[in-house]
Amino acid sequence: MKNKEQAESLIRSLLEHLGEDPDREGLARTPKRVIKAYDELTSGMNMTVQDAVGTGVFEEQCSEMILVRDIEFYSLCEHHMLPFYGRVHIGYIPRDKILGLSKLARITDVFARRLQVQERMTQEIANAVQEIIQPLGVGVVVDAAHFCMMMRGVQKQNSTTMTSCLLGGFRNDPSTRSEFLGLIQNLRS
């Protein structure tokens, strides 16, 4: 946020709205802490995919599927500003270029560390991998729990939401799609 003092004042007003005394000992520094936390939780807004990838693209004659699964992420739902968290599974079939494995986690964080919806985040991750290395295909599956469903509203603690985005061979070739989804499923058993 550009104007931290104004943002802290808004948090102070929110505490008052909730019936709290923002000057009591436990809350006196809360506005500063909340703004610092939100700055960290939305740090992806100030990053690009290119920042995250850096020099992590390598020329390589590899033609088999590469899969990184269980990439942990934390995000904030843009509708309620409550957390959602889970795991991302990313697979791709290279076409002359591969990404350093940690770069897939970094790409995930670029999009997770924003006010976000899971559906869009899934597509953004897949499109970023596609744009950076132009593989023959990309598959992204996200499995997440949403506090907006767990803590408020319907209050269903054990529900998760799964989204997927399949591009290129992952979308057009049933055997590639089956291999990708099968690897994710088999590894979870």
**Residues 94, 135: contact at Cβ < 8 Å?**
yes
Does the annotation count 80 as an active-site position? yes
Fold assignment, 56-188: GTP Cyclohydrolase I, domain 2 (3.30.1130)
Does the annotation count 79 as an active-site position? yes
Q: Give, for all 189 residues of the chain, the pLDDT tens digit.
A: 468 899 999 999 999 999 999 999 999 999 999 999 999 999 999 999 999 999 999 999 998 999 999 999 999 999 999 999 999 999 999 999 999 999 999 999 999 999 999 999 999 999 999 999 999 999 999 999 999 888 888 888 889 999 999 999 999 999 999 999 999 987 554
CA distance to 2, 24, 35, 107, per residue, from 16 (Å): 23, 11, 17, 38
Q: Where are the beta strands (DSSP E) in the chain?
A: 57-59, 66-77, 83-93, 97-99, 115-116, 137-146, 161-168
Cα(69)–Cα(89) distance, rounded to whole angstroms? 4
Both tokens of 1, joined, read 């946020």
Does the annotation count 123 as an active-site position? no
Does the annotation count 118 as an active-site position? yes
Active-site hit among 8, 89, 116, 118: 118
Beta bridge partners of residue 140, listed in sequence order: 90, 165
- Ranges in the chain annotated CATH 3.30.1130.10: 56-188
**pLDDT tens readout for residues 121-155:** 999 999 999 999 999 999 999 999 999 888 888 88
pTM of the complete model beyond 0.75:
yes
Among 152, 9, 182, which residue's Cα sits nearest to residue 84?
A: 152
Active-site hit among 78, 119, 131, 134: 78
Active-site hit among 50, 79, 131, 134: 79
Does the annotation count 16 as an active-site position? no
The pLDDT of residue 2: 60
**Residues 169, 132: contact at Cβ < 8 Å?**
no
**Residues 187, 74: contact at Cβ < 8 Å?**
no
